[in-house]
Amino acid sequence: MKHLGLFFAFLLLGQIASAQEFNFKVELNTQQVQNYDPSVITSLKTAMTEFLNNRKWTNYDFTPAERIECTLLFNIQQIVGSDQFSGTFHIIMERPVYHSDYHSPLLNMIDKDVRFQYTPSQSINFIQNSYSDNLTSLLAYYAYMILGVDFDTFSPDGGTPFYQQAMSIVQSAQNSGMPGWTAVEGSQNRYHFVEQMMNKAYEPLRQFLYQYHRLGLDVMASDEESGKKAVLASLQYLRQVYENRPGLYDLQLILDAKRNEVIQMFSQAPENEKRQMVNIMSLIDPANGNRYREILQNQ
């Protein structure tokens, strides 16, 4: 179960403090639009923030320190009338590493197909297996996907129930006429994000998330050598996925989130570990191969 050590520590002290799952920072960028009502933007930001942070998304009790750190930046590209919004969601999430002050990036992604209607009097009420409006579906979908990725890093396949919830939202939204929910719209959208995480053919992605974080990063504070070896071994899971299907959307999302961290982690590693990392990462992330190979020059 997630964070058992912290849970029982608080239990023994009789100081369990439960909280919702997220600490979402929501920002709305209006630089690309003109002649809008600022009060509507303020209302929308408040509604999004309260929906994500105040709703209870799971059956687990999170302590305040365990809340998942996320940023959602809505870059508004167009406002039609006063209630039709379109633009992009930039979503960033992090995971705390045990016994350290470090937060490891898990997602750094952009959804380019964001479109919804919103009025200040509108409530955001999510009901499972029911489509009410696209804003509600978008926010609920990403909440469940973030939970899925987070829980996958703490236990093998721990995110499964949350991916199932996200897929249910996809299925409910597919007849809405809104973009990003169907398989035929392209290879990089909300449908493919969740489908690939649930697809057994790409199971190594989730094995990577668990080994890299729980058996690797979480161990490094007490045993850096063993933790780093587990991280290095976990890269083979990404290689398996690449050899199965180069260019897979979810593989690219993971690479975009972890690239800088992997390079930094191995920049001062022993020569043999550096070369193993570079060989794998330059193969599966060829567009950034030179960035990995640069660390071989830093002897």
Query: Taking 60 as the threshold, does the pLDDT of residue 18 lie above it?
Result: no
Summarised one tens digit per residue, pLDDT across range 33-90 is 999 999 999 999 999 999 999 999 999 988 888 899 999 999 999 999 989 999 999 9
Summarised one tens digit per residue, pLDDT across range 2-13 is 554 443 333 333
**Alpha-carbon torsion angle 45, 167, 261, 92, nearest 10:** 0
pLDDT of residue 15: 35
pLDDT of residue 19: 67
Residue pair 176/131 in contact by the 8 Å Cβ criterion: yes
pLDDT of residue 150: 98
- Using alpha carbons, select from 49, 142, 41, 45 the residue that is nearest to residue 83: 41
Q: And the tokens for 62?
A: 């999170």
In degrees rounded to 5, what are phi and psi of residue 28?
-120, 125
Give the residue-averaged pLDDT of 187-202. Answer: 98
DSSP three-state, residue 144: helix
| Long-range contact set of residues 123-126: C-beta below 8 Å, sequence gap at least 24 | 124/47, 124/48, 124/51, 126/51, 126/55
